[in-house]
Amino acid sequence: MLFCTPEHRIFLEKLLSRYGLVVNWVADGQAIPGTWFGEPEAGIIKNQLYVRHDTPIHSALHESCHYICMDAQRRAVLDTDAAGGYDEENGVCYLQILLSDYLPFMQQKAMMNDMDEWGYSFRLGSAQAWFDDDAEDAQQWLLNYELIDVENKPTWKIRQ
């Protein structure tokens, strides 16, 4: 599993700044504000992402993608619980896989492996099988909100 190590810091900050997200680095051993799943998982409060060096990259991208995928009203009061429905959650998972290609140390295969290792649950048994064979609805949801384009690339917009 890949983590938010000092070597990865600049890449993660650069990627997420495109969405107006600010990465806050929490000192080792300190509590992570806004974490829904508990430490060492990432926390999110409004446009502030909180990670430690032992926070998995998939967790940082997952919480970031919730911010990207939620509507402006929820985003304005976001504090720990991203909420959202089934379709949004699928869009979040799909987008985090796409965004992993913009982290040179990650890429999609590593992201999907980490998602499986953590315990993401997909009907087809793995993130790879879901992404390849069962995620058309997630892709369409992202297209509908103009979060990706027809070439399956991020538009670098947040949901309005």
pLDDT tens, position by position, 79-127: 999 999 999 999 999 999 999 999 999 999 999 999 999 988 777 789 9
Are 22 and 47 members of one domain?
yes
Residue ranges with strand state E in the chain = 22-25, 43-45, 48-51
pTM over 0.75: yes
Alpha-carbon distance values, 27 to 4, 6, 46, 78, 95 (Å): 12, 12, 20, 23, 28
Which DSSP category does 56 fall into?
B
The pLDDT of residue 122: 77
Is 72 a domain residue? yes
Q: What confidence tier does 45 reach under pLDDT thresholds 50, 70, 90?
A: very high
What's the structural domain count of the chain? Answer: 2
CA atoms within 13 A on the CB side of 77: 3
Order the strands of the 22-25 sheet from edge to edge: 22-25, 48-51, 43-45
* 22: pLDDT strictly greater than 80: yes
Is 155 a domain residue? no
Q: What confidence tier does 16 reach under pLDDT thresholds 50, 70, 90?
A: very high
Average pLDDT over residues 33-62: 97
Q: What percent of the chain has pLDDT over 90?
A: 96
Tell me the two tokens of residue 71.
């509507």
**Domain, as residue range, for 106:** 86-144
Tell me whether the omega of the peptide bond preceding residue 56 falls within 30 degrees of 0, making it cis: no
